C-alpha cells in the first residue's frame, strides 16, 4: 500500500477542524437569522404595546373626542416616548392630523408615510415606512371612545437603525462564540489526533495496513493451528490450518464469534483466561483427533485480555519423533561400531609394529570368534535385518561403555507383518538398554541381559541390569515426561518407551530393588509375516 500524502495526525486535525468550522458557520447563519427576526419581533411588540397603552389612555380619548384639551396629548405622548425610549409617539385624528409629535412644529399637520390608512379604518397593523424622522418600524393602533366609535389612531415608531444596531450587537456575540468554538475545535482536534496516534503506537494508516496484511499472511502460512479468544471467551481468530483440523474432527461450522466452551469442549482456553497459567505440550482429544496443544494468555498492561491456543495433529509429531529417535539410535550404534573397530585396528597396528605376530594371530582369532558368536546368535534368532543390525551396534556401544551386554532367546523372532513395528521396537529396546547402561556405571558388576521370547503373537522382551536399583517413589514417576534423577534436560527415554508401548497396545512391568538392579519386561502384540524359518 502506498504511503499517504498526509500523516494521520494532520489528516485528523484538518478533518475535525473543517467539520467544526462548517458546523459552527451553518449554526451561525441559522442563529443570526433567528436572532434578527426575534429582535424585530421584540421591537415590533414593544411598539405595539406602547401604541395600545396610548390608545386606551383617558388623556388621548378625551382629547380626541373633544372632552378634554388636545394639547395634553402632546405632553403625555412626549412623556411616554421618553419612558419607553421609542423614536416617536404620534396621535392623529380621523383626518390624519397629528395631535402629537416629537417636533412640536409638526403638530397640527398631516401624518406622513401613507401607511396610516389601514388604522384609520379600525385595524391594527405594523409597517416599515419613511416619514419625517426617517425610515422606521411603525405600529398603528386605532382609538375608540366609550361608545365604540373610532375617533383617531396612535402610531409608535422605532428607528430601523436601532433595530439593525441591536441585530449587529447580537451577531457580534455570535461571531465571537463561533471563533472561540473553532479555536476549541482546533485544540481538541490536535489533542485527539495525538491520542489516536499514541494508542496506535505512532503508526500511520499505511503501516497499520501493511502489518495487518503481514500478520494475516503469517497466520495462514504456519503449519500449526491457531485459535484466539477474547476476554469473554469468544473466538476471534482461526487460521487455515486450524480450520482443517477442526473439519477433520467433524466441526464444519465457522467458529468465529462463538463461545469457545460451546464449540470446543476440550479447549481449556477458559481455564487459561481465569488463571493466566501457561499450558504447554498438552494432549487434547478433539472428537477422536489427538492434538498436541499449547495455550497461553494474552496480557496487556498485566491484564488478561484474551488467550491463544496453537496445536498440531499429534500423529504428525509422533511420526517425526519416531523418525528422529530411530535415526539417533541408528547413528549411535554405527558410531559405537566404528569406534570399536578403530580401537581394534590400533591394537593390531601396534602389535605389527612390535612384531608380536604370534600374539597378533591369537588376538585376531579371539576377535573373530567373539564376533562370530555374537553376530551368529543375532543372525539366527533375529530375522528382522534392521533390528538385528541395531542390536549388533548396541553390543559395540556397551563394550565401549565398559559394560557386558548379553542377548538370549529360545525362540526365533520373525520379521513383523507391519514394518513400522520395527521402529517402535528400536525405540523401546534402545532406550531400555541405554537406561540400563547408565544404571550400571557405578556398580562393580556392569552386566545387562536382554532376553527375547515369542509365542502366540506376543513378543516379550526382558531387560535386566545389575545397577543400583530404584525405590517405589521413583518407580511411580519414572515414565513421566521430563522426570529424571540425572539432572535437567533428561527423562525422555522411558517416556518414549511408554508412548511406543501405548501405540502398539503393549504393557510394561518394572521390578527393582535398591542395590539389586532393575528388570524391565515389555509385552507387545507381534504379528509375523508367516515365515518363521
pLDDT in tens, 452-496: 999 888 999 999 999 888 888 887 777 777 666 665 545 677 888
Q: Which of 260, 291, 313 is the last residue of a domain?
A: 313
Q: Do 189 and 13 form a contact (C-beta atoms < 8 A)? A: yes
Q: Flag whether pLDDT at 422 surpasses 90.
A: no
Q: How many domains are there within the chain?
A: 3
> Residue 279 domain-assigned?
yes
Q: Do 155 and 161 form a contact (C-beta atoms < 8 A)? A: no
Residue 451 pLDDT grade (very low, low, confident, very high; cuts 50, 70, 90):
very high
Per the prediction, the chain carries an average pLDDT of 78
What per-residue confidence (pLDDT) applies to 489? 47
What per-residue confidence (pLDDT) applies to 257? 83
- Burial (CB < 10 A; 0-12, 13-18, 19+), residue 451, is middle
Q: Based on the domain organization, do 506 and 373 belong to the same domain? A: yes
Q: Flag whether pLDDT at 533 surpasses 50.
A: no
Domain of 135: which CATH number?
A: 3.30.450.20
What per-residue confidence (pLDDT) applies to 1? 43
- Give the mean pLDDT of 293-314: 84
CB-based contacts of 3, cutoff 8 Å, min separation 6: 204, 206
Residue 79: alpha-carbon gap to chain centroid: 80
Q: Based on the domain organization, do 430 and 289 belong to the same domain? A: no
* pTM strictly above 0.85: no
Of 15-19, 62-66, 354-358, the poorest mean pLDDT is in 354-358
Q: Based on the domain organization, do 122 and 34 belong to the same domain? A: yes
Q: Based on the domain organization, do 31 and 156 belong to the same domain? A: yes
Q: Based on the domain organization, do 394 and 252 belong to the same domain? A: no
Q: Based on the domain organization, do 375 and 499 belong to the same domain? A: yes
Q: Based on the domain organization, do 144 and 18 belong to the same domain? A: yes
pLDDT in tens, 138-157: 889 999 988 889 999 999 98
Q: Based on the domain organization, do 282 and 134 belong to the same domain? A: no
Could you tell me the three cell numbers for 335?
Answer: 558410531
* Plot region of 362 (φ>0 → left; ψ -120 to 50 → alpha; else → beta): alpha
Q: Based on the domain organization, do 235 and 366 belong to the same domain? A: no
* Plot region of 296 (φ>0 → left; ψ -120 to 50 → alpha; else → beta): beta
Q: Flag whether pLDDT at 45 surpasses 70.
A: yes
Could you tell me the three cell numbers for 314?
Answer: 499429534
Q: Based on the domain organization, do 362 and 265 belong to the same domain? A: no
User: Residue 399 is part of which domain span?
Assistant: 356-525
pLDDT in tens, 493-517: 788 888 888 888 999 998 888 888 8
Q: Which of 140, 166, 192 is the last residue of a domain?
A: 166
Q: Based on the domain organization, do 237 and 126 belong to the same domain? A: no
What per-residue confidence (pLDDT) applies to 524? 92
- Burial (CB < 10 A; 0-12, 13-18, 19+), residue 44, is middle
- Give the mean pLDDT of 226-231: 86
Q: Which of 313, 344, 368 is the last residue of a domain?
A: 313
H or E stretch including 309? strand 303-313
Residue 378 pLDDT grade (very low, low, confident, very high; cuts 50, 70, 90):
confident
> Residue 325 domain-assigned?
no
Q: Do 426 and 329 form a contact (C-beta atoms < 8 A)? A: yes
> Residue 210 domain-assigned?
no
What per-residue confidence (pLDDT) applies to 463? 92
Amino acid at each position: 500500500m502506498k504511503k499517504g500524502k498526509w500523516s494521520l495526525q494532520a489528516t485528523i486535525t484538518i478533518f475535525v477542524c473543517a467539520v467544526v468550522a462548517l458546523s459552527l458557520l451553518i449554526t451561525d447563519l441559522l442563529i443570526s437569522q433567528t436572532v434578527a427576526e426575534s429582535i424585530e419581533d421584540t421591537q415590533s411588540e414593544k411598539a405595539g404595546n406602547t401604541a395600545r397603552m396610548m390608545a386606551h389612555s383617558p388623556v388621548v380619548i378625551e382629547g380626541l373626542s373633544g372632552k378634554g384639551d388636545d394639547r395634553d396629548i402632546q405632553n403625555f405622548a412626549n412623556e411616554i416616548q421618553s419612558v419607553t425610549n421609542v423614536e416617536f409617539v404620534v396621535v392623529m385624528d380621523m383626518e390624519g392630523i397629528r395631535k402629537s409629535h416629537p417636533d412640536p412644529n409638526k403638530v397640527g399637520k398631516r401624518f406622513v408615510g401613507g401607511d396610516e390608512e389601514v388604522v384609520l379604518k379600525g385595524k391594527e397593523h405594523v409597517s416599515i415606512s419613511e416619514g419625517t424622522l426617517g425610515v422606521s418600524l411603525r405600529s398603528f393602533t386605532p382609538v375608540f371612545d366609550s361608545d365604540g366609535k373610532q375617533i383617531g389612531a396612535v402610531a409608535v415608531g422605532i428607528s430601523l437603525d436601532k433595530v439593525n444596531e441591536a441585530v449587529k450587537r447580537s451577531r457580534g456575540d455570535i461571531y465571537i462564540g463561533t471563533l472561540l468554538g473553532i479555536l476549541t475545535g482546533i485544540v481538541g482536534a490536535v489533542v485527539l489526533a495525538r491520542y489516536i496516534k499514541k494508542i496506535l503506537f505512532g503508526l500511520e494508516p499505511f503501516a497499520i495496513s501493511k502489518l495487518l496484511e503481514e500478520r494475516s499472511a503469517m497466520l495462514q502460512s504456519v503449519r500449526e493451528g491457531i485459535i484466539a479468544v477474547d476476554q469473554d471467551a469468544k473466538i476471534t481468530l482461526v487460521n487455515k490450518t486450524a480450520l482443517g483440523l477442526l473439519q477433520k474432527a467433524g466441526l464444519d461450522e465457522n467458529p468465529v464469534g462463538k463461545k469457545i466452551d460451546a464449540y470446543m469442549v476440550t479447549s481449556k482456553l477458559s481455564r487459561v483466561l481465569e488463571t493466566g497459567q501457561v499450558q504447554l505440550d498438552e494432549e487434547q482429544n478433539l472428537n477422536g483427533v489427538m492434538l498436541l496443544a499449547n495455550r497461553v494468555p494474552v496480557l496487556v498492561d498485566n491484564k488478561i485480555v484474551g488467550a491463544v491456543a496453537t496445536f498440531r495433529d499429534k500423529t504428525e509429531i509422533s511420526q517425526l519423533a519416531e523418525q528422529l529417535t530411530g535415526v539417533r539410535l541408528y547413528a549411535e550404534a554405527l558410531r559405537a561400531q566404528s569406534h570399536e573397530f578403530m580401537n581394534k585396528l590400533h591394537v593390531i597396528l601396534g602389535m605389527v609394529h612390535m612384531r608380536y605376530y604370534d600374539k597378533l594371530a591369537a588376538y585376531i582369532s579371539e576377535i573373530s570368534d567373539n564376533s562370530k558368536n555374537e553376530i551368529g546368535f543375532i543372525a539366527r534368532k533375529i530375522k528382522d535385518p534392521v533390528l538385528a543390525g541395531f542390536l549388533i551396534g548396541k553390543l559395540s556401544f556397551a563394550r565401549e561403555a565398559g559394560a557386558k551386554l548379553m542377548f538370549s532367546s529360545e525362540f526365533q523372532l520373525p520379521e513383523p507383518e507391519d514394518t513400522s513395528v520395527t521402529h517402535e521396537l528400536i525405540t523401546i529396546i534402545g532406550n531400555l538398554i541405554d537406561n540400563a547402561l547408565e544404571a550400571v556405571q557405578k556398580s562393580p558388576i556392569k552386566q545387562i541381559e536382554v532376553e527375547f521370547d515369542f509365542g502366540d503373537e506376543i513378543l516379550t522382551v526382558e531387560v535386566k541390569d545389575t545397577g543400583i536399583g530404584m525405590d517405589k517413589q521413583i518407580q511411580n514417576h519414572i515414565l513421566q515426561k521430563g522426570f529424571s534423577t540425572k539432572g535437567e534436560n533428561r527423562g525422555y527415554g522411558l517416556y518414549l518407551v511408554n508412548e511406543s508401548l501405548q501405540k502398539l497396545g503393549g504393557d510394561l512391568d518394572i521390578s527393582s530393588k535398591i542395590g539389586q538392579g532393575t528388570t524391565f519386561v515389555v509385552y507387545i502384540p507381534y504379528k509375523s509375516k508367516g515365515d518363521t524359518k
